[in-house]
Amino acid sequence: MKLTDIRDNDGARKSRMRVGRGIGSGKGKTAGRGQKGQKSRSGVAIKGFEGGQMPLHMRLPKRGFNNPFAKDYAEVNLGMVQKFIDAGKLDTSGTLDHQVLKAAGLARGGKDGVRLLGKGELTAKVSFKVAGASKGAIEAVEKAGGSVEVIEKAQPEHEKKAARTAANKAAKSN
């Protein structure tokens, strides 16, 4: 075999269809666009256009609000934590944080960390290191002899700026 013998496999490089190049090409005359009408002309972009009728996306009512600054927490209930401890899937000797809970299959998702919720009973003495916890969850963990450490996440830049602005206004008014 020589370098001159090397070729692509058959059909590996397909040349584009040249439309409007005569009847013999198979895509001549109207170039596969049919006859007449807006779509046969150039420069047409009709996405969601319904011929002048009010389009569906404009007829339907707008609902709700999508907060771009919302936090995404993986919510974990104390009852499920106890269930996993009883099943031997969680080790209570160390601190339970996001990585440990995720590895056990308790915390799904949650790019901003874990939020501990107080649904269910907790009897084991466990220490948690989480991004957030409800009052009931903290009380239940401390009642069982454990502890909850809430991590303070780094404040986003827009929140820092808003806090600085508020502080400056307060200082000026005094």
User: What mean pLDDT is predicted for residues 56-67?
Assistant: 93
pLDDT at position 160 over 90: no
pLDDT at position 156 over 90: no
Q: What is the pLDDT of residues 10-42, one digit of tens each?
A: 999 999 999 999 999 999 999 999 999 888 998
Q: Write the CB contacts of 47 (distance below 8 Å, at least 6 apart in sequence).
A: none
pLDDT, residue 134, reads 92
21 token code pair: 């190049």
pLDDT, residue 48, reads 86
48 token code pair: 């969601």
User: What mean pLDDT is predicted for residues 107-111?
Assistant: 87
pLDDT confidence bin for 135, thresholds 50/70/90 = very high
Proportion of the chain above pLDDT 90, given as a percent: 48
Strands 147-150 and 127-130: parallel
pLDDT, residue 54, reads 94
**Would you say 122 and 142 are in contact if contact means Cβ atoms under 8 Å apart?**
no
pLDDT at position 167 over 80: yes
User: What mean pLDDT is predicted for residues 87-105?
Assistant: 88
Q: What is the pLDDT of residues 66-79, one digit of tens each?
A: 999 888 999 999 99
d(CA 7, CA 143): 75
CATH-assigned architecture of domain 74-150: Ribosomal Protein L15; Chain: K; domain 2 (3.100)
Mean pLDDT of the chain, nearest integer: 89
d(CA 95, CA 125): 11
d(CA 147, CA 143): 9
Indicate the domain borders of the chain.
Answer: 74-150
